[in-house]
Amino acid sequence: MTYIQFIKKNIRFLSFGFLLMFFSSFGQTFFISLFNNEIREVFKLTHGQYGLIYSIATFISASVIIWLGKFIDNIDLRNFVLIISFGLVFGIAILCSSNSVIFLCIAIFLLRLFGQGLMPHAAMTSMTRYYSYDRGKAISISSLGLPLGEIALPTISIFLISAFGWKFTWVSALILISISIMPIRYILLKNHEIRHHKWEKENNFLQQEEKAKAIKSFTRTEVLLDKKFYLIIFSILSPAYIMTGLFFHQIHLFETKGWTLNLLAGAFALYAIITVSSSIIIGKLIDLYGSKKLVIIHLIPLGLGLLILSQFTNSLAAILYLSLAGITVGMANSLLSSLWAEIYGTIHIGSIKSLVTACMVFVSALSPFMFGWGIDFGINIENIILICAIYTVISSLNLFLLFRKT
């Protein structure tokens, strides 16, 4: 089935996943970091102090995701989406009205929990669960919502911040999400119980088939006891760690390099376009070859981009870095959701995905703090980036050793 045929047949459910990924932008570091200077000025925080607050809030949200994320296996998807949407709206409302560091921490916690964590978790778990034969296509199409946010939101936000202020920009986001919640719940997920019942029937059949073939579907506890899981996690979460740290401190990075905010907005748009293209291409390849073979090479472009960024100050370096990073991120968006299903099965995919999402949030909690304190203590940003490049090389070698025989 071609992409066009697949989209026509599944337009509503794919739109649901697409919109959840788009709205997750408001909890992602690339968006929140656009307000770093204003937030640090209002609350009188250094790079390291704000990075610490951001990391602690993100770290706590990751702990909560492990518990909350598993409920997608038990709660009606439509109600799960309502809960996480209202949670994100509440977080934005607190941020806009906060006048103390304590409320800032609470707001960031809610943005990271419901925006960065549970919205992508709901979207990707749903695509992974309800599509068996076109899983790669479903994941790649729905994941395009996030690159759309990366294309549109920086330019729009920079304009709104300069024209109306940072709080007005966040209020605009709040209104957009609020007016979209009910159409998502009652139109895009209409008759979802039919889809779920069909999946349950297919799942029962697969369980019987797996028993006959002695194929095992892992529970989350069994995944935690699998040593290979930790080796995989160390490597595949390197983009989340690196890109979160660089996106969080991107204003400082661009100021250090002597680059303008207009270059930042333009480079981000290119980054998002390449992410989209990479995601579409890899979705088809996953359906043809599987994730295990492709995951081995997906970190190479990011490593090259980081090496360029660490060595050059020409504005072309920013474009090359974000372009190459976009290739890796686009591949990762699709690969990492399907990889777990290939390794551990789909019966307990919701609880397994919540574990992986929590791990992703954990590592993304570390880098803003670590990068921020490094900057405060005078460590050159180029040296930080070079260390990140070395991390991608080690991760690529590890993935090669794990999956070279597949």
- The more confidently predicted of residues 361 and 25 is 25
- Tens-digit pLDDT profile for residues 19-39: 999 999 999 988 998 898 888
State the Cα–Cα distance between residues 248 and 303, nearest whole angstrom: 19
* pLDDT at position 203 over 80: no
Cα–chain center distance at 312: 28
Q: What is the CA radius of gyration of the chain?
A: 20
The stretch 97-120 carries a mean pLDDT of: 91
3-state SS class at 104: helix
Cβ-proximal residues to 320 (8 Å cutoff; 6+ apart), any chain: 305, 308, 309
**HSE (side-chain half, CA atoms, 13 Å) at 379:** 16
- Tens-digit pLDDT profile for residues 131-180: 877 787 888 888 889 888 888 888 899 899 989 999 999 999 999 999 99
State the Cα–Cα distance between residues 268 and 218, nearest whole angstrom: 38
User: Long-range contact list for 323-326, CB < 8 A, 24+ apart?
Assistant: 323/270, 323/271, 323/274, 325/239, 325/243, 325/271, 325/301, 326/147, 326/270, 326/271, 326/272, 326/273, 326/274, 326/275, 326/278
pLDDT at 214: 45
Short-list 374, 257, 399, CA closest to 317: 257
Q: How many CB atoms lie under 10 A from the CB of residue 276?
A: 23
Residue type, 132: S
- Tens-digit pLDDT profile for residues 34-91: 898 888 888 888 877 888 888 889 889 888 888 888 788 788 888 898 999 999 999 9
**Where does residue 104 rank: exposed (0-12), middle (13-18), buried (19+ CB within 10 A)?**
buried
State the Cα–Cα distance between residues 330 and 283, nearest whole angstrom: 10
* SS3 assignment for 108-122: HHHHHHHHHHHHHHH
- The dihedral through the CA atoms of 209, 211, 213, 214 has a sign that is positive
The stretch 90-101 carries a mean pLDDT of: 90
Q: In Å, how far are 20, 82, 121, 201 from 191, measured between CA atoms?
A: 18, 16, 21, 16
* pLDDT at position 256 over 90: no
- The more confidently predicted of residues 214 and 209 is 209
Supply φ then ψ for residue 295, to 5 degrees.
Answer: -65, -20
3-state SS class at 165: coil
State the Cα–Cα distance between residues 47 and 366, nearest whole angstrom: 14
**Where does residue 293 rank: exposed (0-12), middle (13-18), buried (19+ CB within 10 A)?**
middle
- The dihedral through the CA atoms of 342, 343, 345, 346 has a sign that is negative
- Return the CATH fold of 11-403: Growth Hormone; Chain: A; (1.20.1250)
State the Cα–Cα distance between residues 375 and 17, nearest whole angstrom: 37
pLDDT at 327: 93
Q: Alpha helices, DSSP H only, in 98-165? A: 101-110, 119-130, 135-142, 145-164
Q: Which two tokens stand for residue 251?
A: 């204003």
- Tens-digit pLDDT profile for residues 211-249: 544 456 788 888 888 899 999 999 999 998 999 889 888
* pLDDT at position 300 over 90: yes
Angle at 362 between CA 369 and CA 357, to 5 degrees: 145
3-state SS class at 333: helix
Q: Answer whether 109's CB lies under 8 Å from 60's CB.
A: yes
Indicate the pLDDT class of residue 264, thresholds 50, 70 and 90: confident
State pTM to two decimals: 0.75
| CB crowding 57-76: b at 16 or more within 10 Å, else e | bbbbbbebbbebbbebbeee
- The dihedral through the CA atoms of 11, 335, 62, 169 has a sign that is negative
Q: Report DSSP letters for 280-291, one per residue.
A: HHHHHHHHHH-H
The stretch 95-121 carries a mean pLDDT of: 91
